[in-house]
Structure 1
Amino acid sequence: MPKTDQRILALDLGTSSARALVLTADASPVPGALARHKISPAYGAAGEATLDLHGYVEGLLGCLDELQQNGHLTGISDIVLSSQWHSIVALDGSGEPLTPVIPWVDTQTVPLSLDSSFDEHAFHARTGAWLHRLYWTRRIPWLASIVPAASYAGLPDLVLERLTGERVTSVSIASGTGTLDLASGRYDEEALAVAGVTEKHLPPIVPTGWTSSLSPEYARRWPGLVGVPVHPPTGDGAASNVGTGAHDESTAAVTVGTSAAVRVVHPIEGAPELPWELWRYRVDDKRAVTGMAFSAAGNLHAWLTDVLRLEGEHREPVGVEVGSTRVIAIPFQAGTRPPETVPSASGVYFGLSFDDTGADLLAASLQGASLEIDRGLRMLDSLFGHQLEVVLGGGGIDASAWWRRCLTATFARSTTACSEPEVGARGAAAVALGLFPTPGGETSAPHKDDLDRVAELRPRYQTLRALAVQASHELPHNAELP
């Protein structure tokens, strides 16, 4: 079969859905060749968030069954995976799960007792992570206080093991645990000591070029996939950047889904010194991704339109100009990501009056989220020494033309929209197979009047944001560990 006729099977392991889809040889989705399993995390009042591992994996396998039933699992040349970062499962001595999947949104933790000589700034520069509950340096001590585990693994590691029989991880997924020495691509000794484990308790790290194949059980179940190489998973943030077409240090990708992020992919060799405010993970053996993430984005839009019962055209801020609303929204409903320690339930609206409408509140919220993302973009501009080009991607971008215009004005530069919605799957294929996708969408320049209004709004937002941060730490109901 000619290479151009070959197809790629991509598995995308998200927090709200697990998907299996088929891509062409250049990583474009094959029309109709997508199956989705909805994921519903379970939440608790003490900050718990869990995913049912068995249900998750069986749902994903069902997606493959659906693709086969519809004739889409033929001519597959490669199997690639994109996965959420930061998940963890505690395992017993036989490799059986002792806990559900703990995803990034879980806020449970325990305090650490560290030697006074510990230098978190040096640790952050080396691992790209902080000692935050998001990472295994904090997750493992918390889990160890609950269950006597023999080892730990992430969701993508266990999915890969289920498919191939081999429990390994990639340098990209390992970097999201906060236990990787970014420069060497090996587990960091100090991070392991903080977590209270050794390398033998964690999945071995395999190089980007490693492949395996389906176990005999699944080779019988999906005959068209017999002998097809299965590639190591790529963290969803890294995959999304590459999938939008932002695969070098000239371009930042802004992706807006449930949460949001701004990131730049660059070589790990000679990487600029990492500022304290930014994180850094690995894309593959040769590249890293540096950026900032934000907890309020598409979830903010979905929440507010539901609360205000905004439907149809009113799911956009109809009649409100970008930057014009007098209401200032600080989008801390889900708190902030590290190194800031603003807890959840800290969202604030300033300047409300009786003549404000649902459209005003929605515009203020989207504007606030845009200004948050802009903080990260400007830090990346400074880090890489030039104004970065910007590619916009993700479901939130696709859903709101007003938000795209708002982001473009807030960034004060032209932006290019990625025309492909499945950027994670596309990026996983690109990383595994050495492809370089392009955005493919329209480029928009900021409107002058929008620029002027946002420039006037910005200092007010920054002042009120500082007040919201201060208040979040002074209110007693928000007293939680970072």
Structure 2
Amino acid sequence: MTEIIGVDVGTTSTKVVLYDQAGTAIASANHGYPLYQTEPEMAEESPAEIYDAVVAGIAEVTEKATQPVAGISFSAAMHSLILLDDQFQPLTRMLTWADNRAAAAAEQLRALPNAHDLYANTGTPLHPMTPLAKLVWLAQTKPKLHQQARWFVDIKAYLLQRLCGQLVTDYSIANATGLFNLHTFDWDPQALKLAQITATQLPQLVDTTTQLIGLNETVATKLKLSPTTPLIVGASDGCLANLGVNAIEPGVAAITIGTSGAIRVVTDAPKLDPHGRLFCYYLAPHRWVVGGPVNNGGNVLRWVEDTLFSAEKAVNEGTDRSTIEMMLALAAKVPAGSHGLLMHPYLNGERAPLWEATARGAYFGLTARHSRSEMTRAALEGICFNLAHVAKMVQALTGPFTQLQATGGFTRSETWLGILADIFDTTVTIPDSMASSSLGAAILGLESLGQISNLTAVKTMIESTRQQHPNPTNVQNYQELYPIYEQLIAAYQPIFNQLSKFK
């Protein structure tokens, strides 16, 4: 028997989990890092701080290994961008998906006569989250920096280069850059021209099961691993989350709500939305992940806490009392539909379903009768209504969902799970493992190492689940409200840009 390490490099922290061959977690570590936002729309992180978190996490779990570590497999957040010099030293911090400074550049891309061809070739919606839009923005606003760079890389490529001296990007991460042609499995010439870079400035493209041998000896000694320990390149966190919750068969959808959120389903071939609103990303041969990401998830609930429950939050600071739990308890006492109060949760702009960086949130139907309890529940309902809107688009492309697998921090709340099940009118299954992307990375690594025959082995690795069933009365209420929710979006979406210009 051997053990394998799954590393999930996330937006706020890196989670590292040690698994046995059966997919059972033996040990885990989680190390965070700060987000730098010193100017409007900025969202950057330090590559060096992320590297330190990764090494510290791996070192922490290898201390608890009971069998030889067969390999380390990687998951990483999508859409990151770092500029490096010819010595692989960062010229910039890492621009995360949430960095919105390329909004004007994204608008320019969407206005191109062949904009839909660009989406059809890459499977990536045209949005400021993408490295393509960020590179256009950098070429326009910081041309000297753009010209100074030798390499343009994602965070996983940077980490692997430091760990083993090889600069590679897997098809899955590359697919989310807006620079990768999903038909040719190569960098897309049209996208490169728009970004004003060449393929020689990008990492070598490899499959997600590729093994890299040659762990830096100093790092290997620190980690107490052999320098020949394989590093499995892995895939993107969203794609691996589907694998980690056993949502890789047709019709089985994975829904995630953490800080942000997403809904995704796996197909056996690329499927592209005629309107360019959904992503299509590679996971493994004959497995493509189709779905939509949303900017607004748990961060909306945090805004409600900071805005409506600031006094309680101040009192609870430094204690074991949770303001969020108190808010959820209040929301549970409010009937479905929040007494006619709707919230559009677009507090942080929005990706799917709107793809509007200038989107703005709103409460609609507010009366003197409503209290912060209704406003809290309406926020939870708004997040789920928004995901239902995305799900409708996905199902139009891939077919109806037969199962809904849930993951993310929201699964700890029975109230929130109940709202989701009622709005979707579907039983929601919650896998026991919370670290779905880490587990997905480990499973991909086990296949690469020949220790499992194929990815369907995940079925035997999720030992126990729980389910949340819809409430028929609540379902009826939400089916009455959802069309109103959509009508309101259509009514005020045209004024988003006007509002964004008003200071």
TM-score, scaled relative to structure 1: 0.91
Q: Distance in 1 between matches of 2:358 and 2:111?
A: 29
Does residue 45 in structure 1 map to residue 39 in structure 2? yes
CA separation in 1, counterparts of 2:200 and 2:238? 27
Q: CA deviation at 1:139?
A: 1.3
Partner of 1:303: 303
Given candidates 12, 18, 30, the residue that maps to 2:8 is 12
By how many angstroms is 1:348 displaced?
0.6
The aligned residue for residue 267 of structure 2 is 266
Counterpart of 2:187 in structure 1: which amino acid?
A: Y
Separation of aligned partners in 2, 1:319 and 1:339: 30
Q: Structure 1 residue 404 and structure 2 residue 417: aligned?
A: yes
Tell me the SS of whatever aligns to 1:232.
strand
Give the match for residue 133 of structure 1: 128
Q: CA deviation at 1:91?
A: 1.2
Match of residue 316 from structure 2: none
- In the TM superposition, 1:60-75 aligns within 5 A as 60-68=54-62, 70-72=63-65, 74-75=67-68
* 1:25 match: 21
Could you report, residue by residue, the CA deviation over 1:213-250 in whole angstroms, capped at 9, with x for unpaired residues?
31222222223344221101310110111111101222
Distance in 1, matches of 2:403 and 2:122, equals 27
Assess, with a 3 A threshold, how the Cα gap between structure 1 residues 462 and 340 changes in structure 2: closer, same or farther. Answer: closer
- The residue identity in structure 2 corresponding to 1:333 is L
Distance change in 2, residues 1:97/1:38 (3 Å):
same
Structure 2: 5+ residue stretches without partners: 313-322, 448-453
> Within 1, Cα distance between the matches of 2:358 and 2:110?
29
In the TM superposition, residue 177 of structure 1 has moved relative to its aligned partner by: 0.6
Q: Residue 325 of structure 1 aligns to a residue in which SS?
A: helix
Are residues 67 and 272 of structure 1, via their aligned partners in 2, closer, same or farther at CA, if it must alter by over 3 Å?
closer
Q: Deviation digits for residues 118-151 of structure 1, max 9, x if unmatched?
A: 4111221221113322222221122334212122
Aligned to 1:121: 116
* Cα distance change of structure 1 residues 478 and 243 upon mapping to structure 2, 3 Å threshold: farther
Residue aligned with 2:302, SS: helix
Within the alignment, does 1:329 sit opposite 2:327 as a pair? Answer: no
Match of 1:111 among 105, 108, 115: 105
Alignment of 1:220-369 (within 5 A): 220-268=221-269, 271-276=270-275, 277-309=277-309, 311=323, 312-316=325-329, 317-337=331-351, 340-343=354-357, 346-369=360-383
- Residue 387 of structure 1, CA deviation: 3.8
Aligned to 1:446, the other structure's residue is in SS state coil
Q: Is the 8 A contact 1:74 1:225 kept in 2?
A: no
**Conserved? CA contact 2:351–2:357, under 8 Å:** no
Partner SS, residue 372 of structure 1: helix
Higher percent of residues as helix:
2
For 2:397, the equivalent position in structure 1 comes to 383
Change beyond 3 A, Cα 1:444–1:35: closer
In 1, Cα distance between equivalents of 2:251 and 2:190: 33
Normalized against structure 2, the TM-score is what? 0.88
SS at match of 1:231: strand
Which portions of structure 1, spanning 4 or more consecutive aligned residues, are displaced by more than 6 angstroms? 112-117
Residue 435 (structure 1) aligned with residue 455 (structure 2)? yes
The CA distance in 2 between the partners of 1:115 and 1:402, in whole Å, is: 39
Size of the aligned set, in residue pairs, is: 469
Give the counterpart of 1:413 among 426, 430, 447.
426
Deviation, structure 1 residue 367: 0.6
Whole-angstrom distance in 2 between the partners of 1:115 and 1:85 = 21
Shift of 1:299: 1.1
Gaps of 5+ in 1: none
Q: For residues 7 and 440 of structure 2, what CA distance do their matches in structure 1 show? A: 11
Equivalent position amino acid for 2:17 in 1: L
Change (3 A) 1:456 1:175: same
Please state whether the residue corresponding to 2:378 is helix, strand or coil.
Answer: helix
- CA distance in structure 1 between the aligned counterparts of 2:500 and 2:138, rounded to whole angstroms: 26
Letter in 2 for 1:25: Q
Letter of the 1:107 counterpart: N
State the identity as a percent. Answer: 26
Structure 1 residues 94-121: Cα deviation after superposition (integer angstroms, max 9, x where no partner): 2211000010111112538779984111
> Is the alpha carbon distance of 1:73 and 1:166 closer, same or farther for their aligned partners in structure 2, counting shifts above 3 Å?
farther
User: What is the CA distance between 1:267 and its match in structure 2?
Assistant: 1.7
Once the 2 structures are TM-superposed, how far is the Cα of residue 176 of structure 1 from its aligned partner?
1.1
The correspondence for 2:29, drawn from 35, 43, 60, is 35
Q: Is 2:472 the partner of 1:453?
A: no
1:235–1:116 distance in 2 versus 1, CA, 3 Å = closer
SS at match of 2:51: helix
